[in-house]
Amino acid sequence: MERPLVCLLRGRASCKMDMSMRRPIILFLSLLSIGTIGFHVIENLSLLDSLYMTIITVFTVGFREIKEPLSPIGQVFTIFIILGGVGSVLYIFSKLAEIMYEGTINKIWRRKRMEKKIQKLKNHYIICGHGRMGNTVRERLKEENLPFVVIDNSEDGLVELRGSQDCLYMEGDATNEEVLIRAGIKRAKALAALLATDADNLYLVMTVKMINPSLFVLSKVMEDEAEKKILQVGANRIVSPYKLSGLKMAQALIRPTLVDFLDLIIRRSELSLSMEEIIVKKGSQIAGSTLTEYDIRRRSNVIVVAIKKPGEEIVFNPSPSVDLVPGDTLLVLGDNADIELFENTYIKEAT
């Protein structure tokens, strides 16, 4: 149990290095032990002199021998020590070069390749902090086939992503302006501030809004007193994990069927039914008309659950006579294919 525990605490890369160097180190120490004992027994040298003879023989440095000349048995023994020593030293150096390549050169090459891919992203999502919430957000974005970049300053937080070919990530401080710019914050669509503390998230939101004031920012909040401050510095939305969990548990006690339904909507990979936000664009068919005029429920088989007009509160179960204008956000419920058909037919700008 000790080795897996060490791997968890020190990281997979560290354990891989330990295992790679373990065999050559044992081999080298064994060779030194055999040589020291051999010269001590064969040539009747002290242990210190025997160790000295072994080291100058293994590394073939040509220093003065302690005893000259060696006995015939000692000469034969020295030949084998030289052969074994040269092979051991070459083996150790090859392992050191391999570790250096994997740990330094290969790491730099992998980071450069990752940065090139990130530079090509546009309208992507940035996840700052890859803890439990960050991992959940990443998995959901991956399910949706949406582009994203993960930023985390902990090597352990990125272990799961290192072997992945389709997850872009950066190791660094998310509150650092240079790191955010390298992550494409000026081209991003939204950012999730999911760092460990409210103070870090507060500073992150401030930094983000200084670089890209129009970027949509969602922030995690742990303490009640931090909510107002994070909103004041520019966060568009805040999420309190404790409050959400408590409300969901209360609803599960009172209305379990409703919670089951909402869970199915959220985990829509298990169900074709989903709920989407669709923004009415200028020049689309539905702009300037009402829900009744296009009979959306019958033609598209989707339900408009709510409408949010710019600068106003969300209106649930909207009246069929409500006027739809560009910029309105429709919350629609229906089958994935029906929602896509509705968006392509009525929402997109006419060409």
What digits encode the pLDDT tens for the residues 202-228?
Answer: 999 999 999 999 999 999 998 888 889
Cα separation, 230 vs 143, whole angstroms: 29
Cα separation, 16 vs 13, whole angstroms: 5
Cα separation, 177 vs 50, whole angstroms: 60
Q: How confident is the model over 92-106, as a mean pLDDT?
A: 68
In terms of DSSP bridges, do strands 125-128 and 190-193 run parallel, antiparallel, or are they unpaired? Answer: parallel
Exposure of 256 by Cβ count < 10 A (0-12 exposed, 13-18 middle, 19+ buried)?
Answer: exposed
Is residue 15's pLDDT more than 60? no
* Residue 62, CA distances (Å) to 32, 44, 70 in order: 17, 21, 15
Higher pLDDT, 219 or 32: 219
Confidence of residue 59 (pLDDT cuts 50, 70, 90): confident
Dihedral sign for Cα atoms in the order 41, 42, 44, 50: negative
Q: How confident is the model over 298-315, as a mean pLDDT?
A: 83
Cα angle 13-17-22, degrees, rounded to a multiple of 5: 150
What digits encode the pLDDT tens for the residues 320-333?
Answer: 888 888 888 888 88
The full set of domains in the chain, from first to last, is 2-116 (1.10.287.70), 121-239 (3.40.50.720), 272-347 (3.30.70.1450)
The whole-model pTM stands at: 0.58
DSSP 55: H
Q: What is the pLDDT of residue 225?
A: 86
Using DSSP, state whether 36 is helix, strand or coil. Answer: helix
**Contacts of 124 by beta carbon, 8 Å cutoff, 6+ apart:** 146, 147, 148, 149, 184, 187, 188, 189
Amino acid identity for residue 330 in this structure: L
